[in-house]
Amino acid sequence: MNQSDLAFDQEHIWHPYTSLIAPLPCIGVVSAHGVRLTLNDGTQLIDGMSSWWSTIHGYNHPRLNQAAKVQIDQMAHVMFGGITHPSAIALCRRLVDMTAPPLNRVFLSDSGSVAVEVAIKMAIQYWVARGKNEKSRLLTIENGYHGDTFAAMSVCDPVNGMHELFNGVLTKQLFAKAPQCGFEQDWDEQDISSLEALFVTHHQHAAAIILEPIVQGAGGMRMYHPNYLKAVRRLCDQYDVLLICDEIATGFGRTGKLFAYEHSDIVPDILCLGKALTGGYMSLAATITSKAIGEKICQTDAGVFMHGPTFMGNPLACAVASESLAMLQQGDWQQQVATIEQQLKREFAPFEQLENVANIRVLGAIGVIELKHRVDMESITQAFVDNGVWLRPFGKLVYIMPQYIISSADLTTLTSAIYRVVSDL
């Protein structure tokens, strides 16, 4: 990859959330190993983003590489309609084993956004099967993010989210105020009052509530009290509304629990998983529900659930995902994440003295520095590259979600770089 290639990229390739009028320059990455990205000129950067939170085992892991190599020699893909294969069976067996009962019916899809679309369709078709077609709207909370497709966008924050310009054509959903009690703060029962009022007024028309349990990701990296989620489960049971937990960002150990809903000792009716499912190797997602809900969904006139992606159950992705989950089940991820959390809390403490820092948040392998003013994306990204690290802030947030395998020394390199750059802002 030479300068001509990078120039072609900037001229012709549309990257996520970028302008074609004033495109930001991209750094050229030619290889990745462990926690390091190697650039076109041989420079290495320590990655603090886990490629948008997915590469939990690090890059180029020999076990995941081997799983992909073995599978690709057998078949890279086969349609899932009317056909099954060992990789999908092995993956779904692990998912059923890892998630809480009664979550035992697995629908595989291509991406996190699609997993959310599937969950919403499941919820609506469930109520159609029960003869309650009027239950078709979604409850949710502000500051949430659930993906970039249309149903998913409709439950993202309508004002401060990334999809405000589509509000005129999106389905109008029902938003409660976001929880205000932090994860480690004292619980205040009034925190649930806004959502409870929505349940009281709209439960007859609500199919489900969808939220990110404990940690709201791209909507603001906010961490809320486990009792809030407990109260949500109680309201769902009281008013006969399904609970969808979007664990695409939080699933597979990121918050210190295998799934974030475990912090609250509850179980959702529908669970969305993605991102780290394959250890970041390729796109794959899952939407999981119970036998009772799944069978009711199939009692409409159609007799089936009305969704079927072309690449559903892709064997190559399933093989890698199954091996990634095996590594979690056999490994020491809990201690790794706990160690990361302790180090982040310790090394983020000096940030409290910086004038431009508004708030510091740490949970599991997630660390957030909230600034008082928005950052300039191009200049701050380049500043991090100049300091030998890869981080991708947004808005007022500089955050880190490292791979679980990161060493103490490499994590210190990341936190030190953040301190230097934030101090200079």
Q: What is the pLDDT of residues 117-166, one digit of tens each?
A: 999 999 999 999 999 999 999 999 999 999 999 999 999 998 876 677 88
Assigned token pair, 417: 């770089």
230 in catalytic set: no
Rounded to the nearest angstrom, the gap between the alpha carbon of residue 397 and the centroid of all alpha carbons in its chain is 17
Inter-axis angle of helices 315-330 and 86-98, nearest 10:
40
239 in catalytic set: no
Same-domain pairing of 133 and 191: yes
Assigned token pair, 387: 């300091």
How far is Cα 361 from Cα 85, in angstroms, rounded to an integer? 43
Report yes or no: 257 and 263 within 8 Å, Cβ to Cβ: yes
Report yes or no: 90 and 313 within 8 Å, Cβ to Cβ: no
Which of 330, 346, 361 is the C-terminal boundary of a domain? 330
Same-domain pairing of 309 and 280: yes
The one-letter amino acid at 75: M
Residues 6+ apart with CB under 8 A from 127: 133, 135, 136, 207
Domain limits at 341? Answer: 3-60+333-424
Same-domain pairing of 263 and 380: no
Q: Active site residue: 110, 191, 246, 269, which one?
A: 246
Same-domain pairing of 80 and 222: yes
pLDDT at 1: 87
Which of 330, 350, 366 is the C-terminal boundary of a domain? 330
- Among all chains, which residue has been given the structure tokens 């690290």? 389
Same-domain pairing of 355 and 290: no
pLDDT at 35: 98
The count of domains in the chain is 2
Distances (CA, A) of 223 to 65, 182, 367, 398: 34, 6, 11, 15
Q: Active site residue: 275, 281, 399, 404, which one?
A: 275
246 in catalytic set: yes
Same-domain pairing of 322 and 174: yes
Report yes or no: 178 and 142 within 8 Å, Cβ to Cβ: yes
Same-domain pairing of 89 and 164: yes
Which of 295, 330, 365 is the C-terminal boundary of a domain? 330
Rounded to the nearest angstrom, the gap between the alpha carbon of residue 320 and the centroid of all alpha carbons in its chain is 18
List, in sequence order, the alpha helices (H) in 240-351. 291-297, 315-330, 333-348
Query: What CATH number corresponds to the domain at position 280?
Result: 3.40.640.10
Strand 222-223 to strand 215-216: parallel, antiparallel, or no bridges (unpaired)?
antiparallel
Residues 6+ apart with CB under 8 A from 97: none
Assigned token pair, 410: 């490499």
Same-domain pairing of 408 and 320: no
Query: What CATH number corresponds to the domain at position 45?
Result: 3.90.1150.10
Q: Cis before residue 102, ω within 30 degrees of 0?
A: yes
Same-domain pairing of 14 and 157: no
pLDDT at 160: 75
Report yes or no: 20 and 9 within 8 Å, Cβ to Cβ: no
Q: Active site residue: 5, 17, 265, 386, which one?
A: 17
Q: State the 10-residue block means of pLDDT for the chain, 425 residues long.
A: 92 92 91 97 97 98 98 98 98 98 97 98 98 98 96 91 81 96 97 98 98 96 98 98 98 98 98 98 98 97 94 98 98 97 98 97 98 95 97 96 98 98 95
Q: Beta-carbon neighbour count of residue 284 at 10 Å?
A: 27
Q: Active site residue: 121, 126, 135, 145, which one?
A: 145
Q: What is the per-residue burial (b if ≥16 Cβ within 10 Å, else e) of 296-326?
A: bbeebeeeebeeebebbbbbbbbbbbbbbbe
Same-domain pairing of 177 and 285: yes
How far is Cα 247 from Cα 244, in angstroms, rounded to an integer? 9
pLDDT at 23: 86
- Within 217-269, strands assigned E span 222-223, 242-246
Same-domain pairing of 26 and 84: no
Same-domain pairing of 178 and 256: yes
SS3 call for 425:
coil
pLDDT at 198: 98
